[in-house]
Structures are given as C-alpha cells and as structure tokens.
DNA sequence: AAAATTAATGATATTGATTATCGATTTTTT
DNA sequence: AAAAAATCGATAATCAATATCATTAATTTT
C-alpha cells in the first residue's frame, strides 16, 4: 500500500481541517473515480454538515497540490482519483461506464518520442480508450 | 484536397440551409480548431443575423453525422474540427496553446492490443500530448 | 399553386457544473 | 485574550450548452 492522502498532505505542507481530513479519508478509501456529487454524498454520510462548496474547494486544492488528479472523460462531469507514483491510463466500457486502469510502457515511450520529434518535451498526456466488451464464447 | 463539408452533407443526406451552408464553409476553410464562440464570430462577419443557438445546433448535427469531431482539451470549451479519413491525435503547446496534429501508427496498434488484452474491442480513443517547446540552440 | 404540415431559426430562458461572494466560525499569530 | 488570517456553509453568480417557443421557411398534400 502507498501513503494515504492525509500523509501526503503532511509531506507537502497542505493544512488539514476536519472537513479536508474527511474528504482525504474518503478519497483514499475509494477504489473508483468519483465525481464531486458522489464524493459529496459519501462524506455527507459521515458529516452531514459539510458543504458541497467545501468539497469543490478541497478537490481543487488537492489537485493543485498534486495529490489528486482530475479526469474529464467524454461528456461527463469531472472525476477525481488519488495520484500515485504508478501513473496509468484508462479504458472505459462505453456500455456500462466501467473504468479499467492500465499501463503500457511501450505507449508511454512512443508518446515521448512523438513529442521529441516535434521539438517538444512531454509534460503531460491524456490517453483514454473507449471499448465494448467482447463476446468471449463465440 | 478532400471533400468540403457541404459535399459531405450531400453524401450523407444532411439537409443544408443557408445558415448550415455558411457554417460548413467556414469550418471547411478553417485550419485550426475553433470553439463555438470563435466560429460564431467568423460566421457573424458574413451573416450578422445568425444566432449562436444555430451554431450550437449545427455543430452538434454535424458531429452526430460524422462530419465534425469535438475535442474537449483540458479545461477549455469544446473545439471542433472537420473529420477526415486520416485520423490524427493532438500535441498541445501548454504555453502558447498551439495545436500540432500527428499520427503514429505504432501507438494506434498498441492501443488496439491493450483493449484486446482486457477483452474489449476498441471503438474510440483520445490521445492528447501536452508539451513545452525545446530550446533547440542549447 | 394555395393550404396544411413539418422543419429550422432567432431570441431568450433554463440547466448543470463550477466558482465567487460574504457573513459566520475556527484557527493562528501576536 | 485580542487581533488577524484562514476556512466554512449557504447561496448568488458565471459560463457553456441545451431547451423552449413564437416566427419564418421549406416541404408535402390536396
């Protein structure tokens, strides 16, 4: 297991309040990619007083501190995920919405090469694959 | 040169009105990736009567007809581009906003493989590279 | 070709996600 | 403990995009 978000905040000097700590905890425990509404629902169960404005503010703060990443998948609202060393991309099931994480070193390498070829240093990238499940017993 | 948008509409049975024809022409002549506001500005110069609602409606219609593609680059509004056979991805200069188009067959192939490996058939994908220009005379 | 029906337009209201504001509360500094 | 600064909750404002609706244009029916 890797560091919790709370630990990362300590390391990066991001001040934690009760609300932030709660949001950190819920995001650390999430194994999916919740949007703000969903996250708000989850934290509200524990602290019904929390404001959605605080949730928005906090995910933004965490994102700017390099603790969360924001995904803007096709035609949906922004979704958030804990940012860990092991970067990955996403394969999205267009029927069910299920999200599968994957890493492909070869693709990563080729991306860098493409950028270099055009005279650029790659600083970020976004790769999303959209697919439909294959019928395996055909 | 490839077909104009107007020709594609004829082929695909998309009915053209004066407004749609104008939007088609402006998009066919565009070599960049304008958002709706920019497109509205350009068509307004020729037909000042046109409504922005019509521009929104038309790009949506063209997109659904497979004539335009919509790009949702990081944190900006939707941008549109004519869709031609030769698919390509985008390398975005994070400083200037300049957009460079590229194709990399090897990456395309690997994407399909990744999807297959997870039991999926790739139906779509999005690849965006974000980079900074290299100092060439170093 | 006029009447009737259907489709598209322009103007504007509405929506939905996100950000901004602002007074109240909490935390930190002095 | 008083003063200053930061954060919060509630809600207003913003911004892109869609929906509504009366008017105009195009198409079909007679």
Chain D: bases < 7 Å from a protein Cβ: 6-12, 15-20, 26-27
Residue with minimal CA–C1' distance to C18 is: A56
Tell me the C-alpha distance between A70 and A32, whole Å. Answer: 13
Single out the residue of A104, A130, A102, A113 nearest to residue B104, CA to CA: A113
Spacing of A53 CA from C22 C1' in Å: 14
- Option in A93, A114, A129 nearest B102 (CB): A114
Tell me the C-alpha distance between A14 and A94, whole Å. Answer: 37
What's the confidence (pLDDT) of residue A1? 62
- What digits encode the pLDDT tens for the residues A51-106? 999 999 999 999 999 999 999 998 789 999 999 888 899 999 988 889 999 999 99
What's the confidence (pLDDT) of residue B1? 61
Non-local CB neighbours of B16 within 8 Å, separated by 6+ positions: B6, B9, B10, B24
- What digits encode the pLDDT tens for the residues B26-59? 999 999 999 999 999 999 999 999 999 999 999 9
Residue with minimal CA–C1' distance to C27 is: A17
Tell me the C-alpha distance between A83 and A62, whole Å. Answer: 10
A122 to chain B, any CB pair closer than 8 A? The answer is yes
CB contacts of A135 in chain B (<8 Å) are none
What's the confidence (pLDDT) of residue B138? 58
Chain C: bases < 7 Å from a protein Cβ: 7-13, 16-21, 27-28
Q: Is B91 in contact with A126 (Cβ distance < 8 A)?
A: no
How many Å from the N-terminal Cα to the C-terminal Cα in chain A?
39
Do strands A89-93 and A120-133 pair parallel, antiparallel, or not at all (unpaired)?
parallel
Single out the residue of A34, A71, A109 nearest to residue B126, CA to CA: A71
Per the structure, the residues numbered 53 to 112 in protein chain B that have their CB within 7 angstroms of any atom of strand C are 53-54, 57-58
What's the confidence (pLDDT) of residue A138? 59
Non-local CB neighbours of B31 within 8 Å, separated by 6+ positions: none
Mean pLDDT rounded to a whole number for chain A = 93
- Option in B121, B124, B128 nearest A125 (CB): B128
Mean pLDDT in order along chain B per 10 residues (138 residues): 86 94 96 96 96 98 95 91 90 91 95 96 94 80
Q: Which domains does chain B have, with CATH numbers?
A: 5-82 (1.10.10.10), 89-131 (3.30.1490.190)
Mean pLDDT rounded to a whole number for chain B = 93
* CB-strand contact A41/C, under 7 Å: no
Contacts 24+ apart (CB under 8 A), B74-77: B74/A72, B74/A126, B74/B128, B74/B130, B75/A72, B76/B35, B77/B35, B77/B36, B77/B37
Asked if A106 and B110 touch (Cβ cutoff 8 Å), the reply is yes
Count chain A–chain B contacts defined by CB atoms under 8 A. Answer: 110
A98 to chain B, any CB pair closer than 8 A? The answer is no
Single out the residue of A109, A103, A126, A130 nearest to residue B129, CA to CA: A126
Single out the residue of A78, A17, A82 nearest to residue A50, CA to CA: A17
């Amino acid at each position: 297991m890797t560091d919790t978000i709370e630990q990362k905040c300590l390391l990066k000097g991001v001040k934690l309040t009760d609300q932030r700590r709660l949001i950190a905890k819920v995001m650390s425990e999430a194994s999916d990619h919740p949007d703000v509404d969903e996250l708000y629902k989850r934290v509200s169960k524990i602290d019904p007083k929390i404001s959605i404005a605080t949730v928005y503010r906090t995910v933004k703060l965490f994102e700017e501190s390099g603790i969360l990443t924001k995904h803007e998948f096709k035609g949906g609202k922004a979704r958030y995920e804990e940012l860990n060393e092991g970067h990955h991309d996403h394969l999205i099931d267009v029927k069910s919405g299920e999200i599968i994480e994957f890493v492909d070193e070869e693709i990563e390498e080729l991306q860098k090469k493409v950028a270099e070829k055009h005279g650029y240093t790659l600083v970020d990238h976004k790769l999303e694959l959209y697919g439909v499940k294959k019928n395996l017993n055909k």
